[in-house]
């Protein structure tokens, strides 16, 4: 067989058949490549450093990286000599060859720029002296690239490029001289010895440059916190042998409000991350054994260290704001990460937030009174000695554990907003969803909810997140607090995205994202505008799935998630059996009579055919995967079907006609919808299913221009808390008698009649609600079995809607009944153990898993909270 290498260079008819001759030809070609590379290497890089030819650039890069030894060209044998040996031969071609290799640099710059713009807008407006230090800045590419996100010469008073290679520094000086950027200073120096006070006047005296001093390692005065607003390292941390001291020096250079941005290669095993809650997320971070061995060995050739300890120490010394893991598939799938951090002490960028963010956040999550800064220590001390148990959130317990172990706080504490509450993403109850949401839009009608509940400014609402549409509808009513709860992390990621979009974007962009479900510039918006308003895990998720909005072949947001199977099936049936013109007519019908005519003449006989019911609708796998109907809910539908046919008591034995029960349930859902609601004007639920997007005339209330004005205010979501947990778990950690409303959708339908889960959740709900508090729920059953559980646990239950044959209870009409359960009496308080005087870390871990246990503090923890 002919060699594929030879076939690349020679026509098929010219290939020699002798294998020995093939080897000679291959050797000659390799020799020619090496000779050409060396010939290019002998050229002076100054001959083409202005605009290097692509071929010359890569040949020079290949020569410097794989052929030329770089143990050092001089006699010093130090790190600078080795770096210069490596970079001198390719300095002029450095930028051209790194655009493909060094992925993530622009994203890192965009992320830190977004953080800086947010802090400049909402932080201390008197602080105008901004300093940026780019460590290992090389040719200055990063600083020039930053101009795409920030006006470098106007935004920063001083920019320092620190690098140890004279050749790269010379390229940088020429770059900035050509640009005329006088505020950029190129310094060829070891980063460990760089001090801002050597270059900036007024350090420590001018309030705009925040600085303090403390005792150094041997007791001498040393700078402990510098005045830099931004520190960046772009693929330089992996090339610093003594990285511990450089990371420590960065802590001294960075101001208390400063931002740190890093982009670099890495390899790491997921086992290393077990139990770490401060890394900003572990999604996509694991690199398999073969990849770890190969990439570490490969990069060690060029003295690039990929050992995990570099990134680990960085995350240990600072607080993590954002963390992103990705692969550069253009160059063999090299793992790289982008990390944005800050000083360990969590300091909000908003001036009205105090430093004791742990206590403030905990109070908001548990609906407990906030301990004011003045009485903070005294109140905590009294609680330490008190036997009265405190309600503490899981976020607070995690923070206490980290403070006790001298670790940074979980990344959620370093966010600009505290909508999202800390959760352990590695628990199986979260990973079971396989990083995918089920619902891309909420399948409950908020118009009915609001008519029944009549929310006011004093209401504290707990509601299932789902796709977040109803949460936004409730927010428009202005309640005091909304606790959005969902066990699936990605459902909460979707809500986070919507909240961030309203906070940061104009109406046109919000409409493209959530009205049309597509936006070609989504990824740029995510990096430059939305990232300061999102948690690390949500940002990582949407960066990884940006194609939902940007794909040219996909149909956008509303055909994603687990429910996409049902939507795609309906679309396939319609396009296969019904002319598209008829579907357009149905979506554009001006009157109910016109809509009814189209439905009965063309659509109904296809969608509600008994053949389709037998083949698809009654299939249990389809019910769960496509429609999100669990087995327990299917059983409730069957029960009602048999009872209506006067076959009560025999339904369990006749499970072979599930399709008939589901078919009739679907008929009772869709026929009344078509008869009573106009899809083109008012029923955006079914319009979305038919055409994959909303229209300007028919859409959720949160997508109106007026709603955008209200939801885009800075304080619009101050009362929002997003919990990733079970409803009962969140209820049990809320101060008793503080909730006024709980909207739990059809979640109770998912419980098994033989389990105690329903009783536990109802008891927790009773405890959290005040007297007169209300629970709004929907069910696939006309009278769900768990209503009796509500009535025996302190509630009065009333069915406010019943979907009988031919009736339409709301625009969705999917659920058989809607119930309002009002709390009329308190249940006895649960018994909890008296807290001990001293709590060990083991005790604290146990407390973190118990929703009713008291978490107390020893003096050192109280002190750390104060600090």
- Each residue's pLDDT tens digit, 684-729: 999 998 888 999 999 999 999 999 999 999 899 999 999 999 999 9
Structure tokens at 418: 């505290």
Whether pLDDT at 320 is above 60: yes
* Alpha carbons 192 and 190: distance in angstroms, whole number: 5
Q: Is residue 763 part of a domain?
A: no
Closest C-alpha among 75, 637, 543 to residue 280:
543
Structure tokens at 698: 């028919």
Is residue 835 within 8 Å of residue 389, measured between CB atoms? yes
Domain termination site, one of 668, 691, 714: 691
Lowest mean pLDDT among 374-388, 461-475, 758-772, 796-810: 374-388
pLDDT, tens digit, 9 for 90 and up, residues 166-194:
888 998 999 999 999 999 999 999 988 89
Mean pLDDT in the chain? 80
Pairing of the two strands 319-328 and 334-342: antiparallel
pLDDT, tens digit, 9 for 90 and up, residues 625-659:
445 567 787 788 878 887 776 554 554 444 445 56
Where in 458-581 does DSSP place strands (E)?
A: 460-464, 481-485
How sure is the predictor about 124, in pLDDT bands with cuts at 50, 70 and 90?
low
Q: Is residue 859 part of a domain?
A: yes
pLDDT at residue 215, rounded to an integer = 38
* Alpha carbons 508 and 13: distance in angstroms, whole number: 60
Q: Is residue 760 part of a domain?
A: no
CATH number, domain of 312, equals 3.40.50.150
pLDDT at residue 202, rounded to an integer = 65
Whether pLDDT at 387 is above 50: no
Q: Give the HSE-up count for residue 139: Cα atoms under 13 Å, Cβ half-sphere.
A: 18
Residues 638 and 667 in one domain: yes
Whether pLDDT at 611 is above 70: no
* Alpha carbons 574 and 596: distance in angstroms, whole number: 17
pLDDT, tens digit, 9 for 90 and up, residues 776-811:
999 999 999 999 999 999 999 999 999 988 899 999
pLDDT at residue 711, rounded to an integer = 97
Closest C-alpha among 26, 30, 34, 32 to residue 16:
26
Residues 594 and 687 in one domain: yes
Domain termination site, one of 54, 76, 96: 96
Q: Give the HSE-up count for residue 307: Cα atoms under 13 Å, Cβ half-sphere.
A: 12
pLDDT at residue 533, rounded to an integer = 97
Q: Is residue 77 part of a domain?
A: yes
pLDDT cut 70: percent of the chain above it: 73
Structure tokens at 95: 């930028």
Domain termination site, one of 342, 370, 388: 342
Q: Angle at which helices 536-544 and 489-504 pack, to 10 degrees?
A: 90
Whether pLDDT at 851 is above 80: no
Give the pLDDT mean for 40-56.
Answer: 45
* Alpha carbons 402 and 840: distance in angstroms, whole number: 13
How sure is the predictor about 606, in pLDDT bands with cuts at 50, 70 and 90?
confident
Whether pLDDT at 855 is above 80: no
Lowest mean pLDDT among 23-37, 344-358, 412-426, 636-650: 344-358
Residues 91 and 240 in one domain: no
Higher pLDDT, 324 or 841: 324
How far, CA to CA in Å, does 106 sit from each of 146, 306, 523, 545? Answer: 8, 21, 12, 18
Whether pLDDT at 57 is above 60: no
pLDDT, tens digit, 9 for 90 and up, residues 395-416:
888 888 888 889 999 999 999 9
pLDDT at residue 396, rounded to an integer = 87
Residues 234 and 305 in one domain: yes
Torsion from C-alpha of 845, 848, 854, 860, nearest 10 degrees: 50
Q: Model-level pTM greater than 0.75?
A: yes
Lowest mean pLDDT among 60-69, 602-611, 664-673: 60-69
pLDDT at residue 627, rounded to an integer = 55
pLDDT at residue 185, rounded to an integer = 96
* Alpha carbons 354 and 70: distance in angstroms, whole number: 52
Residues 160 and 304 in one domain: yes
Domain ranges, residue 151: 102-342
Q: Give how far the C-alpha of residue 630 lies from the chain's centroid of Cα atoms, to the nearest Å.
A: 27
Residues 199 and 338 in one domain: yes
Most confident of 125-139, 657-671, 731-745: 731-745
Whether pLDDT at 607 is above 80: no
How sure is the predictor about 554, in pLDDT bands with cuts at 50, 70 and 90?
confident
Higher pLDDT, 665 or 767: 767
Q: Give how far the C-alpha of residue 50 lies from the chain's centroid of Cα atoms, to the nearest Å.
A: 41
Residues 107 and 89 in one domain: no
Q: Is residue 145 part of a domain?
A: yes
How sure is the predictor about 844, in pLDDT bands with cuts at 50, 70 and 90?
very low
pLDDT at residue 201, rounded to an integer = 76
Is residue 530 within 8 Å of residue 416, measured between CB atoms? no
pLDDT, tens digit, 9 for 90 and up, residues 137-155:
988 999 999 999 999 999 9
Q: Is residue 185 part of a domain?
A: yes
Give the pLDDT mean for 577-606.
Answer: 86
How sure is the predictor about 123, in pLDDT bands with cuts at 50, 70 and 90?
confident
Most confident of 514-518, 562-566, 850-854: 514-518
Give the pLDDT mean for 550-565.
Answer: 85
How sure is the predictor about 564, in pLDDT bands with cuts at 50, 70 and 90?
confident
Q: Give how far the C-alpha of residue 305 lies from the chain's centroid of Cα atoms, to the nearest Å.
A: 29
pLDDT at residue 459, rounded to an integer = 97
Give the pLDDT mean for 4-33.
Answer: 57
pLDDT cut 90: percent of the chain above it: 51
Pairing of the two strands 221-225 and 228-234: unpaired
Whether pLDDT at 758 is above 50: yes
Domain count, the chain: 4
Residues 91 and 152 in one domain: no
Q: Is residue 440 part of a domain?
A: no
Residues 329 and 408 in one domain: no
Structure tokens at 415: 């966010």
Residues 317 and 206 in one domain: yes
Q: Is residue 90 part of a domain?
A: yes
Residues 151 and 267 in one domain: yes
Phi then psi dihedrals of residue 61, to 5 deg: -65, -45
Q: Give how far the C-alpha of residue 674 lies from the chain's centroid of Cα atoms, to the nearest Å.
A: 38
Residues 363 and 241 in one domain: no
Going 640 to 642 to 647 to 650, the CA torsion angle's sign is negative
pLDDT at residue 365, rounded to an integer = 83
């Amino acid at each position: 067989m002919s060699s594929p290498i030879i076939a690349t260079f020679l026509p098929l008819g010219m290939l020699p058949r002798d294998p020995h001759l093939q080897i000679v030809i291959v050797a000659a070609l390799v020799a020619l490549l090496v000779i050409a590379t060396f010939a290019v290497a002998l050229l002076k890089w100054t001959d083409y450093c202005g605009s290097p030819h692509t071929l010359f650039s890569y040949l020079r890069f290949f020569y410097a990286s794989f052929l030329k030894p770089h143990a050092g060209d001089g006699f010093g044998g130090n790190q600078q000599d080795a770096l210069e040996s490596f970079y001198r031969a390719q300095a002029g071609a450095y930028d051209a060859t790194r655009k493909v290799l060094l992925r993530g640099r622009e994203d890192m710059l965009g992320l830190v720029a977004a953080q800086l713009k947010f802090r400049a807008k909402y932080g201390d407006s008197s602080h105008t002296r901004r300093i940026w230090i780019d460590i290992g800045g090389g040719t200055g590419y990063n600083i020039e690239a930053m101009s795409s996100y920030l006006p470098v010469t106007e935004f920063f008073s001083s920019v320092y490029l620190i690098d140890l290679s004279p050749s790269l520094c010379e390229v940088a000086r020429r770059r900035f001289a050509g640009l005329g950027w006088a505020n950029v200073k190129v310094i060829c120096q070891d980063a460990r010895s760089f001090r801002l006070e050597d270059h900036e006047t007024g350090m420590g005296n001018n309030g705009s440059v925040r600085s303090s001093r403390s005792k150094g390692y041997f007791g001498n005065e040393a700078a402990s916190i510098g005045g830099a607003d931004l520190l960046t390292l772009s693929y330089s941390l992996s090339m610093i042998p003594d990285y511990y001291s450089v990371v420590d020096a960065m802590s001294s250079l960075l101001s208390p409000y400063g931002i740190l941005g890093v982009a670099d290669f890495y390899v790491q095993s997921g086992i290393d991350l077990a139990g770490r809650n401060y890394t900003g997320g572990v999604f996509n971070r694991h690199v398999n054994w073969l990849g770890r061995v190969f990439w570490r060995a490969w990069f060690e050739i060029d003295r690039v260290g990929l050992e995990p300890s570099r990134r680990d120490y960085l995350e240990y010394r600072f607080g993590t704001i954002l963390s992103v893991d990705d692969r550069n598939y253009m160059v063999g799938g090299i793992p790289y990460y982008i990390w944005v951090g800050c000083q360990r002490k969590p300091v909000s960028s908003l001036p009205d937030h105090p430093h004791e963010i742990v206590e403030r956040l905990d109070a908001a999550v548990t609906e407990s009174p906030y301990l004011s800064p003045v009485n903070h220590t005294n109140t905590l001390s009294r609680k330490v000695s008190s036997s009265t148990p405190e309600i503490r959130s899981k976020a607070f317990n995690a923070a206490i554990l980290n403070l006790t172990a001298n670790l940074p706080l979980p990344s959620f504490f370093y966010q600009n907003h505290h909508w999202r509450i800390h959760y352990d993403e590695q628990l199986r109850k979260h990973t079971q969803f396989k990083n995918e949401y089920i619902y891309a839009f909420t399948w409950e009608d908020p118009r009915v909810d609001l008519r029944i509940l009549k929310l006011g400014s004093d209401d504290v609402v707990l509601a299932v997140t789902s796709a977040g549409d109803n949460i936004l509808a409730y927010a428009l009513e202005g309640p005091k607090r909304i606790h959005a709860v969902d066990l699936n992390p990605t459902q909460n990621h979707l809500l986070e995205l919507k909240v961030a979009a309203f906070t940061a974007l104009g109406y046109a962009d919000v409409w493209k994202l959530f009205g049309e479900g597509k936006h070609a510039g989504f990824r740029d918006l995510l990096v430059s505008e939305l990232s300061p308003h999102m948690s690390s895990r949500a940002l990582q998720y949407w960066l990884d799935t940006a194609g939902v909005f940007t794909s040219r072949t996909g149909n956008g947001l509303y055909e994603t998630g687990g429910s996409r199977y049902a939507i795609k099936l309906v679309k396939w049936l319609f396009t296969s059996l019904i002319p598209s013109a008829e579907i357009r007519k149905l979506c554009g019908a001006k009157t109910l009579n016109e809509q009814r005519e189209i439905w009965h003449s063309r659509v109904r006989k296809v969608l509600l055919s008994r053949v389709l019911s037998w083949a698809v609708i009654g299939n249990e796998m389809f019910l769960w995967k496509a429609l999100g109907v669990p087995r327990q809910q299917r059983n409730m539908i069957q029960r009602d079907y048999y009872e209506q046919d006067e076959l009560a008591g025999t339904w369990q034995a006749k499970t072979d006609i599930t399709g008939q029960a589901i078919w009739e349930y679907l008929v009772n859902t869709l026929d009344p919808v078509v008869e009573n609601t106009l899809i083109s004007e008012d029923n955006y639920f079914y319009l979305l299913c038919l055409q994959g997007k909303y229209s300007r005339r028919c859409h959720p209330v949160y997508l109106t221009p007026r709603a955008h004005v209200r939801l885009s205010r800075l304080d619009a979501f101050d009362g929002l808390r997003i919990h990733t947990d079970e409803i009962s778990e969140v209820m049990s950690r809320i101060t008793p008698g503080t909730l006024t409303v709980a909207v739990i959708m059809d979640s109770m339908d998912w419980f098994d009649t033989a389990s105690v889960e329903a009783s536990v959740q109802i008891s927790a709900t009773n405890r959290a609600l005040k007297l007169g508090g209300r629970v709004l729920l929907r069910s696939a059953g006309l009278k769900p079995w768990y209503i009796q559980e509500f009535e025996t646990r302190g509630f009065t239950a009333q069915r406010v809607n019943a979907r009988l044959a031919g009736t339409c209870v709301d625009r969705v009409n999917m659920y058989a009944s809607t119930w309002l359960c009002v709390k009329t009496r308190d249940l006895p308080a649960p018994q909890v153990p008296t807290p001990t005087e001293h709590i060990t870390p083991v005790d604290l871990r146990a407390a973190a898993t118990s929703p009713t246990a008291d978490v107390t503090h020893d003096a050192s923890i109280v002190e750390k909270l104060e600090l």
